[in-house]
Amino acid sequence: MNTRAVIRHLEWTIQPDREPDAEPTTYAMQCAVCGKTSPPSVDFGVPQDWVFEHGSRNPSHHTYREIITRPWRAWWKP
């Protein structure tokens, strides 16, 4: 069996994907006390409302984490 490898150093770069066909950025909130998570949404108002509802049902749950899912793209520089 012959093994052949081609190795070439390339300089890569990344940036948020803002192409027209990119996935949307989504937001969610997670309760740091119980771990429950809001549904993800492109509108931050949806997870924000979830925090208010969750907090009203669980008065001792005061801390939350924001979860942002942002598409990125990578390519090499010629």
Per-residue pLDDT tens digits for 21-46: 999 999 999 999 999 999 999 999 99
Residue 72 amino acid letter: W
Calculate mean pLDDT across residues 2-11.
75
pLDDT at 1: 67
CA–CA dist 29, 47 (Å, integer): 6
Residue 76: strand, helix, or coil: strand
Residue 56 amino acid letter: S
How many of the other CB atoms lie within 10 Å of CB of 47? Answer: 22
Average pLDDT over all residues of the chain:
93
pLDDT of residue 7 exceeding 70, the answer is: no
